[in-house]
Structure formats: structure tokens, C-alpha cells
Amino acid sequence: MYEYTPHGVCSRKIQFDIDENDVVKKIVFVGGCSGNTQGVAALAVGMTVDEVIARVDGIQCGFKGTSCPDQLAAALKQYKESKA
């Protein structure tokens, strides 16, 4: 299980599992808008890391300049960099 501390959003932590084929197996947001974060997590499960990043990177929440989905993309990018 990997952990990421998001910035600029209501959620306080993103935890996720990735399998050996870079497919997302589980995502848990700690804090944030429960229904929205559960929905994003459920939709992303089964996608590859690159697919999730392509779909949610750059999504904004109001005037924050980021969002929980965008922070998920940041978490997954950090995961990819750690593997390189």
C-alpha cells in the first residue's frame, strides 16, 4: 500500500495499491468529500496508472487550482517516479 499526502484539498491522505502490471487495485481517500472521493476511487480501480493519470490530471475544484482527482494523479505520478 502506497501513501500520498495531498496538497490544497480537503482530503488528508491517499492510500493505494498497484499490481505488478501497473493496474490500480485499491484507492482510499482519508478526508474530503466522501461520496466524490469514493466515486473517483471506484471508477479508477481496474485502470492502469497511466489511464487514471490521463483522465484525472488537471481537474480543478472551484478556485483551488487542484482537486482530489488531480491529487490522485499527482500521487500516481510520484509512484511512477519512485519506480524509475
CATH of the domain at 36: 3.90.1010.10
Domain of 21 in residue numbering reads as: 2-83
Q: How confident is the model at residue 73 (pLDDT cuts 50, 70, 90)?
A: very high
Write out pLDDT tens, residues 15-71: 999 999 999 999 999 999 999 999 999 999 999 999 999 999 999 999 999 999 999
**Residue 76: helix, strand or coil by DSSP?**
helix
Domain count, the chain: 1
- Percent of the chain scoring above 90 in pLDDT: 98
Sheet hosting strand 11-18, strand order edge to edge: 2-4, 11-18, 24-31
pTM: 0.96
Q: What pLDDT, on the 0 to 100 scale, is given for residue 70?
A: 98
Q: What pLDDT, on the 0 to 100 scale, is given for residue 84?
A: 82
Q: What pLDDT, on the 0 to 100 scale, is given for residue 21?
A: 97
